[in-house]
Structure 1
């Protein structure tokens, strides 16, 4: 079973790239972030013709998350996180697919630091941690997948000193990441590649992709029930080099079937 995550950075504007990658990579399940489209403009019919059923939560111009599956209709279990009834941002959607609970998330960026956006980021991580603990109480295989907008360690950025005051690398963000992981999760990439540099994002500015000046922002957190099935993991880096590409590349894992 191949599961992927891809911050598409505008699904309708990059639908051609998405379809090309889906055909070449053939993932079974895909978590998408930054749809940047309202619900009624989501390209459901196009994706269905490509063989993927979908659930999604859109938002005009910003945010938005979706889950695609080749296993047929998707059993949606949740959208949004508890803990803030006033939060209307489209950042979390969850489904039960092929025996696995899959949470697709787009964690807040948090910049500029300091400020209300950073405060919102920290609160959101705490809400995710609380929800993750609930999920782990069910005894099911669970994966929390997506763009976390966090670089957990210095290995996850090409130039750590540049990001000292960036919300993606602030000690507060990284501390909450560690607390989340310690509450029952395994970082799939680091499980299989503990010492390698894997970037998933390259800025559009200053030829970042050409210089491989990247960041690792997109992560798979697997609970103990699921991590035993982890076989391989990687990044489709070449997709970032395609014309009119997202600034992220797809990231994927492969799991043993039952």
Structure 2
């Protein structure tokens, strides 16, 4: 027994080793066969709603929007109604309380935020490299700051030009009309931005909606400015030059500025 036991043990070990080799080769063949079958996985496309910063920002916008509607509903209705009317002089009953005047600040600022989010969506759609080279929160903040800077630039240019060429009452009416149109755009921009971000609205369709809102606001502002400054027929040509210089040129500079900033960010980062 002492002579045959080692031989039997070695035989068993050899067979076990052969079985392991057979199992390893079978697994290798199965893996090679499986790797050639099926379809390769595709990465999921980038979605705006996956950004926590976008969600938090829209939640803050919703709270501010609700606050403005709750406390300044009468003020908002009055000034939106005044966009389609023209009064030679303001009524004493048009003044509202100080608490309602918060809508003067909140709604135009919300419009700037919505335009900043649209600039971000546009840049990600047209310049996919921005998605890989820059922090998304920083880009969203940059586009919102661009919209704020554009608002301040328009406000300053209107005030300066009207101070030179027009009376104080007409200048104040124009500034009021400009901020009223921004407030009105807030009501239209909010649902469009929500559709683009959370309901996968095609970007081209969303861009058409944004363009329609912008054109409608410019037409309304044109109407208000013509009634405020150039109610006489001989002032039509003058107003065309005034409107193109203070409306169309800054808008074109804004579009070129966004494209230029995107190119700088892509090249430097």
TM-score, L = length of structure 2: 0.25
User: TM-score, normalized by length of structure 1?
Assistant: 0.26
The structure with the greater share of residues assigned to strand is 1
Indicate the structure with greater helix content.
2
Larger radius of gyration, structure 1 or 2? 2
